[in-house]
Structure 1
Amino acid sequence: MPTYCIVPGCNEKSRKGRTVSFHAFPVKDSARCKLWIRAIKHPNIGEDAGIEMLKIKTVCSLHFKQEDFKGYLAGMKWTRPTLLETAVPSVFAVAPLEEDEQAGPSHAPTAAKRIRLQNPIASAAGILGSGGQLQDKSTSQDTLSSIVDTGALTLTASSIPLKTGTLHLTSTPVKSLSDQGQPTSCPDTPGTLDSSFSTIGEADESYKPDTTVTPTSTSSSSSEDESTKDWKEKKIIVNESCLMSLFKFCQICGNPVSSKSVFDCGAQRKVKWTCLVGHSGTWSSSPDVRGVAEVNLLSAAAVLFKGGTYTELSDWCKTMQVQMISETTFYEMQKAYLHPAIEDLYQKQRKDILARVYLEQLDGKTLHLAGDGRCDTPGFSAKYCHYTFMLDDTKEILHTELLQSTEAGSSVAMEPLGFKRGMRELQGEGLDIEVLTTDRSSSIRKIMREEFPDVQHEFDIWHTAKGFRKKIQTKGRKKGNEFLGAWSRSIINHMWYACASSKGDTEKVKRTWQSVLHHVCNVHEWKDEDGQTHQCEHAPLTAQELRTRKWMKKDSLVFENLSLLVNDKRLTKDLEQMALFKHTGSLEVFHSALLKYLPKRQGFSFQGMRERGHLAIMEHNENIVKREQATTNTGEPRSNQVYCKRSKQWVLKKIFNPHTYQFIDTLVLSVLDRRRNRNILYKVPTSSLALPQPALPPNIAPVAKPPKDDAVAAFKSRF
């Protein structure tokens, strides 16, 4: 059964071979449905019409503009056009029927009340003379425009062979048309586009780009398009030959294109074309944001916000022969738009965490922090150091300090200085720190003892256990101490147990730790110097365990060496500051993840180090709290077995859900907003973040750089 259009005066119905589509009323959107009813003005359909009646009514595609559709032709295969969610019928070349007339299939077509070509291709060809020139511009031009406006002509350029008087249309969307058949004026002046920018709209006088033009009868224009489209729209890599094949024929009349111009603006291409008849238009592969190609901003943002570098992007693009922004443009965008966006979001999130912690303190909750430093390179040649403070309960990063070695005088002095600055900053913001956990650094101990005596200083058991394991392994390599290596894992586990079971009791943690000297000798119950009886807290050992375990003898060399390690005075004293069972393992995990944004093989400026560190913190804080263990389709927790080379055993590790990156969406929107802000200018220092004052030297050399000519003259090669 054919489908009919209910617009008064329209006799369209579904027929084989016709390209007209029919669209049902948007009954699920009552407001838009009323707009359709008002536009159609059917005498028998009012705004109070029932849904059941409207469900069976349709409107043909001739009553919609081309921009109302999502669907286009894909090569030679027809695809059904789909209306946008905001589309409303607006093309009516027929006056509404009188009230006594009835619309529908039962009525024969009346006299022509509009110009509508049943065979648009043949009819359009009829108004063209030889060479594709319009014969009667007074009527034929209007007729041809009506065909294009109603969407009747939607054939691809390759679907019809080129002949005199035949239309050849492309599926490339029309960017702009000239009503008088003259070339559309280009708002750009040749020489104002470089690999990333075009000067459209209000000019940014601070930016003077270089021109990258391909002059073959190929050059481009640019049109200002402060696009409201979602920046997350899918992007597709296209071969240049495939793209330019769409500009062989006019987008309006189908005649061959006589000239076209191409401008390559970074990752954006713009094409201006003119056909034999005189129609012209401009096409752009990406919208502009106040004269800057959106795709160029997004490319720079995507690289930085995901922890990449321009070198990686450039190498990939060169391998793939993909057009991309230059290195200079990338870093200028980074200074003007990317870094300020990162800083703003980081400071906002940090203030939110500080406000929450402050309110928790008002409710009586104590504040426990963990702190640790991380240098950009190992050894004594580090240039930068991040000192980070983490909340002990939620594992969120609360504060970080970045230092350059020239501020501290040496690489090893950066961590204590960063710690001191961070503590003063947090206390200056009104936080009352009760417990702080760090490693056993002697310089940090001194600062805590002299400048922050009211804060309880705890030592990290993770670092302590790691150092003790190395001492055991070193002793175990000596002759006669082979048993010591076999006991290494058990002794380290016992250290963790002693701290975890003490519950803040400093005497208990020392007593439990030293009990390992009885256990290794197969003595599980003993008396101390005061005559009190103690015993191991493990379950009774089986006969097989007693038989297979390599027990020590108290008069042996291996036991003597172990006693020296266990009873070390400094370790025994430090155990008192490990009774609360605090460790910085989560901070070490964060420092490992920091390598994604700050690889140690790559050098960065001070501002680059700072903002990349903030990116790592935002990713960590977003995922550390809510990230859960992944589950199977049946709801069972997922895990994986991994072989540990150190213990030579298979261990079970949890599999967590992938990281989320919601903060990146916020950053990208902030970058686009900054570009739209006419007060923020490209390459103007006031648009970038302020550097630390006094200004830090660009390198850490203790002497000034000599003139290059002197260095060349003094250079001598060994070869």
Structure 2
Amino acid sequence: MSTRRGRCCVAGCNNPYNSLYLLPKSEPVKTKWINFVFEENVPSTLPKFVYVCSNHFTLDSFLNRAQYKAGFAKKLLLKDAAVPTVRDPAAHPEDSTSEQSQTRDVACQTDAKPLTKSAGTQLSMKTCHVRYRSSGVLRTDTFSDTDSLSPAAGLIFNTSTHIKWPSKRPRVELEEEDDEETLMDTSSVAAPEEQDYTFDPAETDTTLTETADMSAQASCSIHKTRKYIIYENCIMELFEVCPVCRRSCSVRSQSIGTFIRVEQLCKNCQYSRRWSSQPVLGSTPAGNLHISAAVYLCGASFCTFEKICSTMNLQLFKYDTFRRHSRLYVEPAIVHKWTHWQNETLDRLSERERVIVGGDMRADSPGHSAKFGSYTLMDLQTNSVVDIQLVQSNEVGGSCHMEKEGLERSLALLEARGVTLECIVTDRHPQIQKYLRERNINQFYDVGHIEKGITRKLENISKMKGCAKLRKWQRSIKNHIYWTASSSATGPERVAKWRSILNHVRNVHTHEDPHFPACLHPLKGSRDRNKWLVAGTQAFYKLEKVMTNTRILKDITKLSPHHQTSSLESFHSVILRFAPKNVVFPFLGLLCRLYLAALHYNENAGRAQATSSTGHPLFKVNFPKASKGQCTIKQVKTRPTFKYLDDLQDLIFEHVLVDPAPYMDAVLKIPTPPDLCAEYERPGEEEVISTLVSRFNHQLVGHQHICPDHLETHGEPSSPHRLESRHVPDGTGNPSASSRSARNL
């Protein structure tokens, strides 16, 4: 059935704006159409063209009525078995185009239960209300979800007014009021004067492309809806011409970040509509909030993302808006997610009898000038992060005390939750050794830390004169360290195995020296006698001094035989993706990023080894820089998953955004230490500016006199330095130096 130009053949129907349909080809349906059109006076010879307009069909007779009402289709399509039954309709599906003055509000396709169905906008009129005066009378077509589909029910008509453009720029009452708004001037596109005023937009042969899962997309959550990049000129093409009279229209747009709203007004027929690119959640455009959440949750840098958007001229909100979204919605969701996961983990650990954990600290900068130290406690049996404690240096009197404080907090948490430890594996930090010894907690040392220290010393010794031969033995000595740690021997027997390496490098297999036990492997003959070390030489003396060090021999007995802290080192490398060391974060921001790193690690730590298409396991050959050309083999793991990101987004958009109060209360309970600069007296701005001097001519900025030679600034004596006085707020109202660096993420 196609739509043609002509008139409806039903008696009494003179509406020229309706879609017309020819008689169907199916004979049974065609007979019903003829009986309806001509009633009892069916002529013997039918006219060449018999038309029936859409006015005489019920609402459920059309295939694309919802798309047509939403403005996405220009003609109504009939079902194959549709039969006209409405003789004198009170309303019909095309009332929205039959009037010469009308308003369309394009409804959001992602609204779960919209109060009204209307063509066009993703925002309600109340949310994006523009203050303007109006005059005249306008009719708006709306219908609710409970409207009957029968022709008797019809549509609900409301009265409204014609839009008169305001003299001042309208203001959108949204959250980003401090953002710079972009408002386009009212523009009109010239249209030909010889337009057909009786043109029916429903008769245009335009096919609406529909995806198979359109209904599924409309019913899913807002943050799960697919999104696209739309160019501005492509949007404006949709509003240049009035869909009713085909005349040019006045169009104005307003944007806030990634959100844009377009208003169209036809001065000829007073047709108007409003379209918005995003739904609004409360007072926040959904797209703006989704970008803030995605950047934060992925551990990306907002500064980098801002540069990307600026390069491609993609509209984006300001950094202050990103910080507000993070503080109000994203960070409370992260804290809640981590707390919920940690409580479940601690409940499982409290039911186990044998719990072995590993602990280590990561500082936010190298050396002894670290501001933050994060202590991680990991369950080595399941390879999962159990607890993370963030310590600021001014809480404990210096960065060298942060590791002990972090361990104390973690052990106190485990004790409060009823977790009984069998042992803990750590490095050889002296404060940790003393604290655990006083608490009567069984402690083992990580083999990797001892191996790394010994290897570094032997590397330096091999560079000395007469010790180059020792370089060839470094790999054997490294393997000997791990072999000693993995043996079941304890006490003096383990020490004896440790000292046997000295006989190995001399190729001695007898007990000729009671201080050094015999090498345990069988004798191997070699023609090259130069590769063995000789007792009394400089190389052997240096090696003996390192391997028989008093502290080394004492710590050998406490090497962990099974579980090591290498998993903690892997977790620290994951932290670098979420909180790099070259960026300074505020306390709460760094803590949330540590939680994100832990959630990511716990979800992907147990990935299986990847296999090829034939089922063979995959490996990867690496050449680490520290190995000096020696290759290592590693397993290729399956691709990581990011289910925790989906859970966090569901939590943000479905719970935190609805009622943020309980989630914010949990964040406020986190003790936040004051900034490092809080203990110093902040000078006045004019005083600091007065000390700002040039490095070249020693002139004070803003003054004309020369700085005397004896005048000293806060730098070295007689070497004036330029001081920086610019501060950027970090979202909490504290203009600190760290907040300037925190803007990078």
Same fold? TM cut 0.5: yes
Distance 1:13 1:512, change over 3 A: farther
Could you tell me how far 1:566 is from its partner in structure 2? 0.8
What letter is aligned with 2:461? K
Matches within 5 A, 1:152-167: none
Contact (CA 8 Å) 2:346, 2:414: kept in 1 or not? no
Distance 1:602 1:140, change over 3 A: closer
Structure 1 CA distance, aligned partners of 2:467 and 2:531?
Answer: 12
Tell me the SS of whatever aligns to 2:254.
strand
What letter is aligned with 1:429? R
Structure 2 CA distance, aligned partners of 1:675 and 1:215?
Answer: 34
1:714 aligns to 2:691 (yes or no) = yes
Paired position in structure 2 for 1:152: none
Distance 1:138 1:655, change over 3 A: closer
Matches within 5 A, 1:8-157: 12=24, 63-67=62-66, 94-95=84-85, 142=95, 144-145=97-98
Distance 1:561 1:231, change over 3 A: same
Structure 1 CA distance, aligned partners of 2:460 and 2:603?
Answer: 41
1:689 aligns to 2:631 (yes or no) = no
Structure 2 CA distance, aligned partners of 1:492 and 1:575?
Answer: 14
Tell me the SS of whatever aligns to 1:94.
coil
Paired position in structure 1 for 2:252: 261
Tell me the SS of whatever aligns to 1:433.
coil
Give per-residue Cα distances to partners, 1:454-483, cap 9 Å, x unaligned: x11111111110011111111111111111
Paired position in structure 1 for 2:494: 509
What letter is aligned with 1:592? S
How many residues align? The count is: 567
Distance 1:183 1:471, change over 3 A: farther
What letter is aligned with 1:596? R
Structure 2 CA distance, aligned partners of 1:713 and 1:578?
Answer: 59
Paired position in structure 2 for 1:636: 616
Contact (CA 8 Å) 1:509, 1:579: kept in 2 or not? no
What letter is aligned with 1:566? M
Aligned match for 1:618, one of 599, 602, 607: 599
Aligned match for 2:375, one of 377, 387, 398: 387
Aligned match for 2:172, one of 182, 186, 193: 193
Distance 1:449 1:247, change over 3 A: same
Paired position in structure 1 for 2:548: 567
Paired position in structure 1 for 2:150: none
Matches within 5 A, 1:568-607: 568-607=549-588
Distance 1:511 1:714, change over 3 A: same
Distance 1:243 1:139, change over 3 A: closer
Contact (CA 8 Å) 1:435, 1:456: kept in 2 or not? yes
Distance 1:144 1:708, change over 3 A: closer
Paired position in structure 2 for 1:419: 407
Paired position in structure 2 for 1:523: 508
Structure 1 CA distance, aligned partners of 2:546 and 2:588?
Answer: 45
Give per-residue Cα distances to partners, 1:640-668, cap 9 Å, x unaligned: 22223323123222211121110000111
Paired position in structure 1 for 2:286: 294
Contact (CA 8 Å) 1:317, 1:324: kept in 2 or not? yes
Contact (CA 8 Å) 1:336, 1:687: kept in 2 or not? no
Contact (CA 8 Å) 1:307, 1:612: kept in 2 or not? yes
Could you tell me how far 1:342 is from its partner in structure 2? 0.3
Tell me the SS of whatever aligns to 2:223.
coil
1:436 aligns to 2:414 (yes or no) = no
Structure 2 CA distance, aligned partners of 1:520 and 1:622?
Answer: 45
Structure 2 CA distance, aligned partners of 1:140 and 1:589?
Answer: 64
Distance 1:660 1:525, change over 3 A: farther
Contact (CA 8 Å) 1:350, 1:398: kept in 2 or not? yes
> Identity across aligned pairs (percent)?
27
Paired position in structure 2 for 1:20: none
What letter is aligned with 2:601? H
Structure 2 CA distance, aligned partners of 1:141 and 1:241?
Answer: 29
Could you tell me how far 1:615 is from its partner in structure 2? 0.2
Distance 1:348 1:138, change over 3 A: closer
Q: 608-617 vs 438-447, which deviates more? A: 438-447
Tell me the SS of whatever aligns to 2:506.
coil
Distance 1:522 1:208, change over 3 A: same
What letter is aligned with 1:377? S
1:217 aligns to 2:186 (yes or no) = yes
Tell me the SS of whatever aligns to 2:623.
strand
What letter is aligned with 1:217? T
Tell me the SS of whatever aligns to 1:520.
helix
Paired position in structure 2 for 1:399: 387
Tell me the SS of whatever aligns to 2:595.
helix
Structure 2 CA distance, aligned partners of 1:691 and 1:191?
Answer: 41
Structure 2 CA distance, aligned partners of 1:513 and 1:71?
Answer: 80
Structure 2 CA distance, aligned partners of 1:414 and 1:448?
Answer: 15
Aligned match for 2:456, one of 470, 479, 489: 470
Could you tell me how far 1:10 is from its partner in structure 2? 10
Distance 1:631 1:114, change over 3 A: farther
Aligned match for 2:639, one of 649, 658, 662: 658
What letter is aligned with 1:420? E
Structure 1 CA distance, aligned partners of 2:580 and 2:81?
Answer: 59
Could you tell me how far 1:431 is from its partner in structure 2? 0.9
Structure 1 CA distance, aligned partners of 2:417 and 2:443?
Answer: 20
Distance 1:303 1:12, change over 3 A: farther
Paired position in structure 2 for 1:325: 317
Give per-residue Cα distances to partners, 1:92-147, cap 9 Å, x unaligned: 7733xxxxxxxxxxxxxxxx9589xxxxxxxxxxxxxxxxxxxxx9999749459x
Give per-residue Cα distances to partners, 1:24-71, cap 9 Å, x unaligned: xxxxxxxxxxxxxxxxxxxxxxxxxxxxxxxxxxx9995234436999
Tell me the SS of whatever aligns to 1:397.
strand
Distance 1:550 1:306, change over 3 A: same
Contact (CA 8 Å) 2:245, 2:269: kept in 1 or not? no
Distance 1:420 1:140, change over 3 A: closer
Distance 1:68 1:715, change over 3 A: closer
1:671 aligns to 2:640 (yes or no) = no
What letter is aligned with 1:266? G
Paired position in structure 1 for 2:102: none
Paired position in structure 1 for 2:536: 555
Aligned match for 1:335, one of 327, 331, 334: 327
Structure 1 CA distance, aligned partners of 2:275 and 2:416?
Answer: 56
Tell me the SS of whatever aligns to 1:449.
helix
Tell me the SS of whatever aligns to 2:557.
helix
Aligned match for 2:140, one of 153, 178, 188: 178
Contact (CA 8 Å) 2:70, 2:120: kept in 1 or not? no
Give per-residue Cα distances to partners, 1:283-331, cap 9 Å, x unaligned: 1212222232111111000000000122112111111111112111110
Structure 2 CA distance, aligned partners of 1:213 and 1:585?
Answer: 53
Tell me the SS of whatever aligns to 1:578.
coil
Could you tell me how far 1:227 is from its partner in structure 2? 7.7
Structure 2 CA distance, aligned partners of 1:382 and 1:575?
Answer: 31
What letter is aligned with 1:512? K
